[in-house]
Amino acid sequence: MTNYKAIVIGGSAGSFQVVTKILSSLPQNFSLPVFLSLHRLKHVRSGFLEALSIKSKLSVIEPYDKEQIKAGKAYLAPANYHMYIELGNRIALSTEEPVHHSRPSIDLSFITAANAYRDKLIGIILSGANTDGALGLKHIKDYNGLTIVQDPSECQVRTMTEASLKHTAVDHVYKTDQIINFLNNLK
């Protein structure tokens, strides 16, 4: 069994295909919960979840506030809400101010997840056109969690990954296939 208890993934422009690929490659009985904090259109409530679900073996859900966290599920931050990891193994939602013009904010999901899981957390930053996530990834590293950044050379938009690499001496810079291999070898 892996020592890790959760995975949190942040992405923006250019991350959709990467997330889809990761979700389609993890087994249905994957032993950890996966939190997806992805920038998305605020006013479009439906469609995104459905698109991510098509090829995913894990069930992907937009959690309700205070929903209990379960292994083997992927939790997608709902449109126009921040998604926090609350103590007591629950998810909390928030409509607080946007961070880096974003709600959901990747930083806030990462920071609250790091506070809850400490060194038992894996944080992954994917392609994106914004610096959101850099602070959150550093927070995970500060708690001795494991940090992974998608190889910028593979990213459709490199801003987000490069900002994260500038802030944090990350553990791994991986291409999508390597991320998938790594996660599948956690079992």
Partner 1 sequence: MAGEIGIVETKAVIKLIIEKYGIDFSDYALTSFKQRIERIIDLYNLKYSDILINRLNDDAAFFEYFLYEMAVPSTEMFRDPSFWRTLRDEVIPGIYRENGTAVKIWLPGSVSGDELFSIAIVLHELDLLEKSQIIVSCISKKHLEIMQSGLLNSSKLEVSTDNYIRANGMRQLSDYLVEENNNYYRDKRLIKNVSFFIQDVNCEPLPQNIKLVLFRNKMIYFNQVQQNRVIKNIHQAMGSGGILTIGIQEALGQFFGLTEFTALNEHESIYKRT
Tell me which residues are annotated as active site.
12, 39, 132
Do residues 37 and 9 make contact, with C-beta atoms less than 8 angstroms apart?
yes
* Residues forming beta bridges with residue 181, ordered by sequence position: none
Q: Return phi, psi of residue 51, to 5°.
A: -65, -40
Using rule CB under 8 A, residue 62 touches partner 1: yes
Using CB under 8 A as the criterion, what x/- string covers residues 103-142 for binding partner 1? x---xx--xx--x-------------------x-------
d(CA 26, CA 91): 22
Q: How many residues bind partner 1 (CB under 8 A)?
A: 29
Binding residue for partner 1 (CB under 8 A) from 63, 123, 133, 145? 63
Helix (H, G, I), strand (E, B) or coil at 34: strand
Burial of 103 (0-12, 13-18, 19+ CB in 10 A): buried
Using rule CB under 8 A, residue 50 touches partner 1: no
Size of the chain, expressed as the number of residues it contains:
187
Positive or negative, the CA dihedral 187, 173, 112, 91 is: negative
Binding residue for partner 1 (CB under 8 A) from 93, 106, 146, 157? 93
Distances 46 to 43, 52, 61, 128, 146 between C-alpha atoms, Å: 9, 11, 12, 21, 32
Binding residue for partner 1 (CB under 8 A) from 1, 3, 50, 95? 95
Output 115 or 156, the one with its CB closest to partner 1: 115
Binding residue for partner 1 (CB under 8 A) from 24, 31, 86, 156? 86
Binding residue for partner 1 (CB under 8 A) from 92, 129, 173, 186? 92
Using rule CB under 8 A, residue 66 touches partner 1: yes
Using rule CB under 8 A, residue 178 touches partner 1: no
Output 53 or 94, the one with its CB closest to partner 1: 94
d(CA 13, CA 76): 16
For partner 1, the binding residues (CB under 8 A) are 42-43, 45, 62-67, 78, 80-81, 84-87, 92-96, 99, 103, 107-108, 111-112, 115, 135
